[in-house]
Every structure is written in C-alpha cells, then in structure tokens.
Structure 1
Amino acid sequence: MTRILHLTDLHFGFHREALEAPLLERIAALQPDLVAVGGDLTHRGLPAQLARARTFLDRIEAPLICLPGNHDVPLWNLLARTFWPFRAYRKAFGPSLTPRAHAGDVRVMAINSADPYSWQRGKIRAGEVGRVIAHVDPLGTNIAVLHHPLQQLPRVDKALARQATRALRRMEAAGVNIVLSGHLHRWAVDDLLATGHAPRVLQIQTGTALCARITDIQNEFALLEIEGTELRLERHMAPMGGKGFDAPQIAGYSRASGVWRRV
C-alpha cells in the first residue's frame, strides 16, 4: 500500500496561523510516503511569503514535491510577472516547476498550469502533458498533479484553464489514472465521476489547506491509500473557527473494471 498526501492552496500571507501546528501534526501522524503540494503556496507570491511557506514545508518529514499556482506569480509587479514570473518561486523551492517522484508502484508527475499572462485562469501546456505521458508506467498507478482543474462542474463560476479538456483526454488515453488539483477551494470527486466525462481518470479536486477566507467554510487535505487498482480516499477537514481537524471522511474507489467506480 502506498500513501500519497495531497496538500494544496496554503496561501501563506493570508492563512490560518493557528492551524499550522495541527496540520503538521496530522500529516506526521498519517506517515505518508509522499506529499504532493499543488500550488498557491502563497497569497501574493512575495519573497517573505515564499520563505514562510518553505519553512513550513521543511517541517514535513515525508518526501514531497511542489509546483506553483497562480497566486505564486507576482500580481502587482508587472515587470516581474512578464519577464521572470517564477524567479522568486524557483529561489525558494528549486529550479523545477514540474517535478516527478515515485513511491512504491505509484508515479506522481507535476504539471505547471500557472499562466503569468492570464493570472487567474491558467493554461495547460501541450509539452508538459507530453512529458507526463512519456513517464506513464503501464503496470503501476500514474498520478498527475497540477493547480488548475481539468474539468469543472456547472456551479463553478471561474473559467476553465486553457487546453484543459484536451489535456484530460490525452492523459486518459495514455494511462494516467488520477488527477489531483486545487485552485477552486472546493472539494469535488464523486460529482465529477458521475459526469462520465473521463471515466478512466479519477479527478480529485481538493480544497484549501490553510487559506483564512471565511467563505471556504473549512480547510482540508486528502490522503490517498493506493493498492493495485484499489483506492481508499480520506478527506481531512478543519472547520473555520475550530481548533483542528475532525475525523476524516472515507470513501473507496476501484478501477479493476477498467473505469473508476465508487465501492
């Protein structure tokens, strides 16, 4: 069994400071094999916010990979956003915007969907999708992680990232099994699966881990326990105004039939 923890939308600079310690404690207790951090580590991409996010992530003992979100690109410094949008991020987290890692027979591959020229919307670049496809393991479980979703439900009022639909089709055809995303600060799994849009890809849209925006209702992260074609998914939530994380909500999924089904 391989345990992958998905942590996204931390928003350091506009985050629940009191939840930092409970979040780190819960992560340590779960003992994940790998932590995938899905962007928006900061609220405005400022060097001090990036440094604080780096300090927080350094306290996680498990191996981790991280990638930028749209909030990690400079918003007000138009010169930096145009010519060197990821310079400060790279200084804090290393040169790669699309890291890869593996744990057991699970491969986790990042896609950078942040688009400095369309700050919020995002863009899925064909070349990055191609690199993910090139590293698919046909005998294992393949996970793509990015900030922007590849599909959105009708209730979402944000524009879908450019080329998202095409990227999802390409990755499904190539054998990507799971897509992890954030950005919307709203959980979605079963409703996306029910659309039948990409039945061989389980899309897990995880809410914000630390953002202090009251309308988000709760902070949360996901833990995936993967064994062959079976997945046990834990949703860990900390209600706004509370002091920590409640017991997780648990669901099971299987792709033994060739498509994902809740079991």
Structure 2
Amino acid sequence: MLKLFHVSDVHFGAEDPAAIAWFGQCVAAEKPDAVIMTGDLTMRATKREFERGGDWLRSLGVPVTLEVGNHDIPYYWDPFRRIFAPYQRYAAVEQMIERPLELPGVTIVPLKTTARAQWRWNWSKGRVGQGSLRRALALIADAPKGNLVFVAAHHPLIEGGTTGTAKTRYGDEALTALAEAGAHAVLSGHVHDPFDIPVDREGRTVRMIGAGTLSKRTRGTPPAFNEIQVDGGGFVTLSRTLSTDAKQPLR
C-alpha cells in the first residue's frame, strides 16, 4: 500500500506549534511515500516565514511537492512586489514548488490557482489561468498508463460545502477538462476544513479533496491533515485531527 499525507495552510507566522510537532511525529513514525502541501505555507510571505517553512518541510525527510497559496505572495499593501516580484522570497522552498511527483501507481500534478491581480476586489480567491491548465493537462497526458492521477492546487476548483469559500474563476471549466484528461482527484486547501466529494463530469467521477489546517486559524474542525491510502488501483481518504489523532474516512 502507498501512503500520502496531504497537508495545507500551515501559515508559518500563525502556525500551531503543537500541530506542527504532531504532524512531524506522524511522518517520522509512519514514513509516508510523499507529502503534498497545497499552499499557504506562510502567513505574510516574508523571507523568514519561507525559511522556517522550508526547514520544516525538509526536516520531514520524504518527497514533498508544494503549491503556492494566496498567503504566499505579498499582500495588497506591497503592490510593487506583488505585481513585479511576487516570487522573490521563495528561495528556501524553490525546489519544492509545483514539483510533479511520480510514485508507484500514482502521478501528482501541480495546478496553480493563485493570481497576482484579478478584476475583482478579493484577490485571495482562486483563478485557473490557461497556461497553468495547459501545463497540468500535458503532465496528465504524460503520466504512465494506469496510474492514479492526483492534481494538487491551493483553491478548491468548485465549492465543497465548507464555511470558507474559494470562488475559483474558471475552476468549473478546469475541473471538467481535468476529468476528461483522466484526473482521479483534485487536492486542495484554502478553506481550512477537510472534505472529499465525488463530482461527475463527462461520464467520469473526479474527487474534490480538501485538507484542514495546521495553523491557529481553524474554522469548523481542529488542526488536521489527510492521509490518502492507495491500494489496488483505488484509494481512500482519512481525515486525521490533532484533538484525538483519530482516522476518520471522509466519505
């Protein structure tokens, strides 16, 4: 059996130290095949926060792929840096960002959903650009035949019934295109609550899977991450919470 840990929204700068330590202990004890981090590693995209987050991810000692969240680019009050140099502080984690992973029977494909600017007031919400979608579709096309394909994004492409929302522009169209291409699931964060929802598209079922948060900015659930168990061409998603360290199936 192959095991993946799906974690999101750690928010270094507003992290929960107990949750961070707990997750590290789980990785050390169980040795997952990879960690998928779906964004908001930092709170305010400072160099120090990226350094702390990078040190933490490297300390896990397993392959990691990292998506960029809306908190990982400079805020509106630093418009020059946000528009012209949004990635300047990523040096500590550069090798992990949008890193495709090939594991036995599983392909993990990155999909960028953040934007430096949008034609709406709330730039924290998601947006799927055509270039990002084309790259993801190309990676899916190159995946070994028979592999499960997991797409990693920060924002849910469509709403998952959580208190927090993503309102991802072009997310619905992207989900259809990814399903047609053969994606089995889209992993995301942003809303700070876990979910696993099957969505039917073009005669296929693609699962929308959201992870909780390891920060102090909890919403409906305590600090949590997802464990994805892959076995025999199928997979199950378990939500693991700090309060009990219980493993609860998400569907």
Please confirm whether the aligned pair reaches a TM-score higher than 0.5, indicating the same fold. Answer: yes
Partner-residue secondary structure (3-state), 1:135: helix
2:210 maps to 1:205: yes
Shift of 1:96: 6.9
Which secondary structure state, in structure 2, belongs to the residue aligned with residue 88 of structure 1?
coil
Partners of 2:51 and 2:166 lie apart in 1 by: 30
Distance 1:43 1:31, change over 3 A: same
Distance in 1, Cα, partners of 2:164 & 2:236: 30
After TM superposition, the structure 1 = structure 2 runs for residues 106-255 of structure 1, keeping only pairs within 5 Å, are 106-118=106-118, 119-136=123-140, 137=143, 138-153=145-160, 156=163, 158-189=165-196, 192-193=197-198, 196=200, 200-208=205-213, 210-239=214-243, 245-250=244-249
Contact persistence 2:32–2:62 (CA under 8 A): yes
Structure 1 residues 214 and 226, CA, compared in 2 at 3 Å: closer, same or farther?
A: closer
Whichever residue aligns with residue 99 of structure 1, its letter is R
Deviations 1:41-99 (A, max 9, x none): 0011111111111111111011111121000001131110011112212x121167422
Quote the offset at 1:196 in angstroms.
4.3
Mapped to 2, the partners of 1:95 and 1:58 lie a distance apart of 11
Q: For 2:114 and 2:187, how far apart are their aligned partners in 1?
A: 15
> Conserved in 2, the CA contact under 8 Å of 1:141 and 1:228?
no
4+ runs deviating over 6 angstroms: none
Distance 1:43 1:222, change over 3 A: same
SS of the residue 2:102 aligns to: strand
Shift of 1:229: 2.8
What is the deviation of 1:130?
A: 1.8
Mapping of 1:6-21 within 5 angstroms? 6-21=6-21
What CA distance in whole angstroms lies between the structure 2 residues aligned with 1:94 and 1:4?
21
2:69 counterpart of 1:64: no
Which amino acid in 1 is paired with 2:184?
A: N
Residue-pair matches, total: 242
Report the CA distance between 1:3 and its aligned residue.
1.4
CA contact (8 A) 1:133 1:176 kept: no
Q: Which whole-Å CA distance do the structure 1 matches of 2:180 and 2:108 have between them?
A: 17
Work out the CA distance in 2 between the residues paired with 1:121 and 1:153: 14
- Paired with 2:88 and 2:94, the residues of 1 have a C-alpha distance of 10
Unaligned runs of 5+ in 1: 240-244, 252-261
What's the secondary structure of 2:178's corresponding residue?
helix
Structure 1 range deviating more: 36-45 or 198-207: 198-207
Stretches of structure 2 that go unaligned for 5 or more consecutive residues are none
Identity of aligned residues (%): 27
Does the CA-based 8 Å contact 2:65-2:96 persist in structure 1?
no
| Contact kept in structure 2, 1:140 and 1:228, CA below 8 Å | no
Instruction: Tell whether the 8 Å contact from 1:11 to 1:42 is kept in structure 2 after alignment.
Output: yes
